Amino acid sequence: MTDTLRTPAQPGLDADRLVEAYRTMRTIRAFEERVHEEFATGEIPGFVHLYAGEEASATGVCLHLEDRDSIASTHRGHGHCIAKGVDPKAMMAEIYGRRTGSCHGKGGSMHIADLSKGMLGANGIVGGGPPLICGTALAAKQLHTGGVGVAFFGDGASNQGTTCEALNLASVWNLPAIFVAENNGYAEATASTWSVSADNIADRAAGFGMPGVIVDGFDFFAVYEAAGEAIRRAREGGGPTLIEVKFTRYFGHFEGDQQTYRADEVANARDKLDCLKRFRARVTGTGQLLTSTLDSIDAQVADLVDAAAAEAKAAPKPGREDLETDVYVSY
């Protein structure tokens, strides 16, 4: 049932959508590189796990989604947040632990959420997202909203019982759910070839009675096409899909990771496979967008990230009066 690596077809994206896709990927990349620089100064509290290199996945999936749709993320969630529409300035403030952050400075890098955008939150619990998405997908189905739920998780989380139970439940209940396994090759420092029993994570889809698709995660168009097909089927009552997106993360598992477990693969990916370079080459080569248009977006995004960092540093931290707010949820 698993498809092989897809050769991307022309997905029919117009110029405005291509600009939106590029701006999203560029924003994720610039945001991540700035957080990498700022973390080295020691001003950012807590742990940070960067998403750079994986931009095509979050963007290719979330470009199909609306506010009625929900996503659940991982500890590596900055890219998912930006692609789902969360304000980068509020995100930066959250990472700095400031009151103006998207969670009022109480979540930090690993717990950024914005329910108004359908972003249920980044999640420090490995395998915590798939069961959450079963809940939102069930609600969408029962309330006939037409919404879908998307769970992003890593290759390490694919081995968790929570993920396997969620896949089974989604299939049994025929939920409008899409499971996106972002396979960057390592669960922390353990290669997926050591920890995943199947050749591909998507091969497991057959056991749960759902389609499984493997996608080149460096290719935005391949991800966009695969996600579009899965999301359309889910909205039409066709049930869940498991998509495996394969790529390389550019930074270590966490900031400060010495990365002794891998050698030249990052340099090769940055040089020869990078999703932004491939996107630019394709859309300028076909005449769909001008190089000057993309350069202008780069400059606008750089200004946005500069402003986000400056405003975050200047924002106040939560005070004593904030200790007991946002602690409990009323139903």
Of all helices (H) and strands (E), which one includes residue 66? none
Q: Taking 50 as the threshold, does the pLDDT of residue 198 lie above it?
A: yes
When the pLDDT of each residue in the chain is averaged and rounded to a whole number, the result is 94
By DSSP bridging, strand 190-191 and strand 186-187 are antiparallel
* Mean pLDDT (whole number) for 28-44: 97
What is the CB-side half-sphere exposure of residue 312 using CA atoms within 13 A? 29
* pLDDT tens readout for residues 203-218: 999 999 999 999 999 9
| Residues 151, 140: Cα–Cα separation, whole Å | 15
> Could you tell me the pLDDT band of residue 6, with boundaries at 50, 70 and 90?
very low
- Please tell me the least confidently modeled range out of 3-7, 203-207, 236-240, 312-316: 3-7
Domains of the chain by start residue, with CATH: 15-248+259-315 (3.40.50.970)
Q: Taking 60 as the threshold, does the pLDDT of residue 10 lie above it?
A: no
Backbone angles phi, psi at 244, to 5 degrees: -105, 120
| Residue 329: predicted pLDDT | 72
| Residue 331: predicted pLDDT | 67
CB under 8 A, 24+ apart: contacts of 11-16 = 11/221, 11/224, 11/225, 11/228, 13/221, 13/224, 15/288, 15/289
> Could you tell me the pLDDT band of residue 249, with boundaries at 50, 70 and 90?
very high
Q: Taking 90 as the threshold, does the pLDDT of residue 253 lie above it?
A: yes
| Residue 163: predicted pLDDT | 98
- Please tell me the least confidently modeled range out of 11-20, 143-152, 183-192: 11-20
Buried b (16+ CB within 10 A) or exposed e, 80-101: bbbbbbbbbbbbbbbbbbbebb
| Residue 5: predicted pLDDT | 42
Q: Taking 50 as the threshold, does the pLDDT of residue 299 lie above it?
A: yes
Please give the residue that has the higher pLDDT: either 331 or 173. Answer: 173
> Could you tell me the pLDDT band of residue 7, with boundaries at 50, 70 and 90?
very low
> Could you tell me the pLDDT band of residue 311, with boundaries at 50, 70 and 90?
very high
| Residue 260: predicted pLDDT | 92
> Could you tell me the pLDDT band of residue 4, with boundaries at 50, 70 and 90?
very low
Give DSSP secondary structure letters for 240-305.
-EEEEEE---SS-SSTT---TT--SHHHHIIIII-HHHHHHHHHHHTTSS-HHHHHHHHHHHHHHH
Instruction: Report, in angstroms and rounded to the nearest whole number, the Rg of the chain calculated over CA atoms.
Output: 19
pTM (2 decimals)? 0.94
* Mean pLDDT (whole number) for 14-31: 97
- pLDDT-above-90 percentage for the chain: 90
Q: Taking 60 as the threshold, does the pLDDT of residue 111 lie above it?
A: yes
* pLDDT tens readout for residues 37-59: 999 999 999 999 999 999 999 99
* Mean pLDDT (whole number) for 233-248: 97
Per DSSP, the chain holds a count of helices (H) and strands (E) of: 11, 8
Q: Taking 50 as the threshold, does the pLDDT of residue 134 lie above it?
A: yes
* pLDDT tens readout for residues 83-107: 999 999 999 999 999 999 999 999 9
